[in-house]
């Protein structure tokens, strides 16, 4: 039974570019959450998707957007990258609307130069 | 708004010694509390969670945590630490609302284990 899978594992981008990160939830899960973890910090909530809609957003600018597909997989898009966007981006999945994200992927390490 | 404080940035213990990692939370209602562990370069693994009921919660890998409402604490404990427990530990408080769920994490405590 595959857990939460994220791709790519590492990514290097230049300031001003755009990036797309991908997440496949654990089998049977229908809710996906995204978190940003800066170096030396705890993860911070970006948003949660359920039934292909963004249900709640944390304190992140509109440069951060997402999408959930009918198969429950999800993408996180970040536009106009800043140096401060360098972080580990974690995806978590769960079952049901408003469910707690108990299962996390290994993350995508984004470096912006 | 909810918040979590982990007062200890770094703790070093000897293998076989007992361990207690501190966590204090701020939340206006009954909290949902979690402990996660993160090994270098890895994602988060859930150790245990508290939603309601018995305030002493058992988790995986021999960990337990006790919810103390009067102290707004949810400290993680292990009676005998193994070298493989060296990792970073995060406490989180969960908030449900408007059909979604958000975790607020502390800044983490890094655990080093001396053989």
Q: Mean pLDDT over residues A90-101, rounded?
A: 89
Distance between B101 CA and the closest CA of chain A, angstroms: 5
Distance between A55 CA and the closest CA of chain B, angstroms: 6
Q: Which of B45, B98, B108 sits opposite A42 (nearest CB)?
A: B108
pLDDT digits (tens, 9 = 90+) for B42-51: 889 999 999 8
Cα distances from B74 to residues A97, B20, B62, in angstroms, run 26, 10, 16
Q: What is the mean pLDDT of chain A?
A: 95
Distance between A99 CA and the closest CA of chain B, angstroms: 6
Q: Are B113 and B85 in contact (CB under 8 A)?
A: yes
pLDDT higher than 90, residue B20: yes
Compute the distance between CA of residue B41 and CA of residue A76 in angstroms, rounded to an integer.
20
Q: Are B88 and B110 in contact (CB under 8 A)?
A: yes
> What pLDDT score does B26 carry?
92
pLDDT digits (tens, 9 = 90+) for B55-101: 999 999 999 999 999 999 999 999 999 999 999 999 999 987 766 78
Cα distances from B51 to residues A18, B29, B56, B57, in angstroms, run 39, 12, 11, 10
| B34–A55 C-beta distance less than 8 A | no
Nearest Cα residue in chain A from B48: A102
Exposed / middle / buried, residue B42 (Cβ in 10 Å: 0-12, 13-18, 19+): middle
**Partners of residue A102 in chain B, C-beta under 8 Å:** 46, 49
Compute the distance between CA of residue B80 and CA of residue B76 in angstroms, rounded to an integer.
13
Compute the distance between CA of residue A76 and CA of residue A60 in angstroms, rounded to an integer.
12
pLDDT digits (tens, 9 = 90+) for A60-81: 999 999 999 999 999 999 999 9
Cα distances from A37 to residues A46, B63, B94, in angstroms, run 10, 24, 17
**Partners of residue B42 in chain A, C-beta under 8 Å:** 106-107
DSSP A20-62: EEEEEPPTT--EEEEEEE-TTS--EEEEEEETTEEEEE-S--T
Q: Which of A55, A90, A100 sits opposite B99 (nearest CB)?
A: A55
């Amino acid at each position: 039974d595959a857990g939460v899978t994220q791709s790519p594992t590492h990514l290097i981008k230049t300031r001003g570019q755009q990036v797309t990160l991908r997440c496949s939830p654990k089998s049977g899960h229908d809710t996906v959450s995204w978190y940003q973890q800066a170096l030396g910090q705890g993860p911070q909530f970006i948003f949660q998707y359920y039934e292909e809609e963004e249900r709640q957003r944390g304190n992140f600018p509109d440069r951060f957007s997402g999408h959930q597909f009918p198969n429950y997989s999800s993408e996180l898009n970040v536009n106009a990258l800043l140096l401060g966007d360098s972080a580990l981006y974690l995806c978590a999945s769960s079952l049901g609307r408003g469910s707690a994200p108990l299962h996390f992927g290994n993350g995508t390490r984004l470096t912006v130069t | 708004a909810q918040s979590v404080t982990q007062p200890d940035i770094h703790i070093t213990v000897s293998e076989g010694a007992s361990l207690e990692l501190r966590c204090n939370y701020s939340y206006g209602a009954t909290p949902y509390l979690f402990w996660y562990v993160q090994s270098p370069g890895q994602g988060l693994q859930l150790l245990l969670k508290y939603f309601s009921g018995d305030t002493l919660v058992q988790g995986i890998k021999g960990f337990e945590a006790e919810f103390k409402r009067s102290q707004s604490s949810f400290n993680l404990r292990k009676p005998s630490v193994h070298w493989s427990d060296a990792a970073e530990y995060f406490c989180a408080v969960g908030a449900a609302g408007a059909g979604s769920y958000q975790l607020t994490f502390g800044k983490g405590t890094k655990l080093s284990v001396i053989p």
